[in-house]
Amino acid sequence: MLAKAKAADLSYAEAGATRDSPLPAGYRLDRYERRLSSNEGVFERAVAALRGWKAHVGAGVEIVPDAARVTVGETVLLVIKTAGFWAAAPCRVVYVVDEPNRFSFAYGTLPGHPEQGEAAMIVERSEIGGVVFRIVSFSRTVDPLARLGSPVTRLIQRRVTNRYMEAEMRWAAARSSL
């Protein structure tokens, strides 16, 4: 499945739209935000966690291959297990922004993913030292089974996203290395 995903094109046309563009019409738009501690090293730990997919792993999502890093063009399978079922969601990193006070990356869906769209993970440090973690996404359900169970699919999506937020907060607060 991973080899097939690596050879595939993204399953949507608006690649990179979570970076600076207005999010595209025709999708469900989501924005989540959590303030992280402003303690020393929080920004650096939060960035290191994102680079290593730790928000995903901490949310119970398996990353295949397990040594994947956040780099443009990296193709991964997000393996989500819930209620005794699992789903593999092929994705590709479409951009990375690495600046002194901002780190972000977005991954887009590939054929075989139950959704179509893009999600961005953003860590930003303000001039006064506060650190914020955001997730911005646009998506629509394309898998017929997921579409049939749309309310349940949406509930699972929200729960996993909240787990990403909580996991990133834990990694950012941790004093030990990643």
For domain 2-11+26-173, which CATH number applies: 3.40.640.10, 3.30.530.20, 2.10.109.10, 1.20.1300.10? 3.30.530.20
What percentage of residues in the chain have a pLDDT greater than 90? 61
- What's the confidence (pLDDT) of residue 149? 57
pLDDT of residue 145: 60
Return the bridge partners of 108, or none.
92, 118
Within 10 angstroms of residue 104's Cβ, the number of other Cβ atoms is 21
Question: For position 20, what pLDDT does the model report?
Answer: 84
Q: CA angle at residue 58 from 54 to 63, to 5 degrees?
A: 60
Residue 150: which pLDDT band, with cuts at 50, 70 and 90?
low
Tell me: pLDDT of 166 over 70: yes
As a whole number, mean pLDDT of residues 24-34 equals 93
Which structure tokens are listed for 87? 């789903």
User: What pLDDT score does 178 carry?
Assistant: 47
> What's the mean pLDDT in 48-59?
92
Task: Determine the Cα–Cα distance for residues 53 and 43; give it in Å rounded to an integer.
Answer: 15
- The whole-number pLDDT of residue 173 equals 78
State the chain's mean pLDDT as an integer: 87
**pLDDT at residue 159, as a whole number:** 76
Do residues 78 and 67 touch, judged by C-beta distance below 8 A? Answer: no
Model confidence pLDDT, tens digit, residues 108-136: 999 999 899 999 999 999 877 689 999 99
Once rounded to an integer, what is the mean pLDDT over residues 74-84? 87
- Rounded CA gap, 58 and 39, in Å? 21
User: DSSP assignment, residue 136?
Assistant: E
